Amino acid sequence: MTREEKSQVIEVLTDKLTEGNIIYLADISGLNALDTSNLRRACFKANIKLSVVKNTLLEKAMEKSDKDFGELPSTLKGNTSLMVSETGNAPAKLIKEFRKKSNKPLLKGAYVEESIYVGDDQLDTLVNIKSKEELIGEVISLLQSPAKNVISALQSGGNTLSGIIKTLSEKE
């Protein structure tokens, strides 16, 4: 690879790192061709961009990026795959689901909304992170709950009042 090609790859990686707020680093070495193909297909369905990268180029792109990746550059040993997503827990769920059939991919680390997770033991923590849409849904349901209670109370009170009036009118 020439210097120009390397600088172009670093530029592309820097753009990916700058644009994405959810970045996972995984080790998919040891997967056979069929499993790799299945992983790529699952990533495509889950709207996750998967690419195998050279560690040195990714490290330079991390340095060039305006984000603080903390300890993540120290995980760049061996084979590294970059997973970029728009949903914080989607890659973690995909990795966990895929590992039911195989012992790979291994999670090296993740950068999720300025939080850094290092090591495969963080996978369960990452799976339990709620996405932006899930959090918005919870907030909306919390906001709707008191209004529903008030409306329900008013409706039941109206039914009781109309029942009393009907009973009184029938007595006369």
Indicate if 36 and 59 belong to the same structural domain. yes
Indicate if 30 and 82 belong to the same structural domain. yes
Alpha carbon distance 41, 38 (integer Å): 5
Alpha carbon distance 46, 19 (integer Å): 18
Contact 84, 23 (CB under 8 A): yes
What's the Rg (C-alpha) of the chain? 26
Number of separate domains in the chain? 2
Indicate if 98 and 71 belong to the same structural domain. yes
pLDDT at 157: 62
pLDDT at 109: 86
Pick out the chain residues at pLDDT < 70: 153-161, 172
The boundaries of the domain holding residue 160 are 130-172
From the list 18, 19, 115, the residue with the least C-alpha distance to 66 is 18
Indicate if 140 and 166 belong to the same structural domain. yes
pLDDT at 158: 61
pLDDT at 60: 86
Indicate if 67 and 143 belong to the same structural domain. no
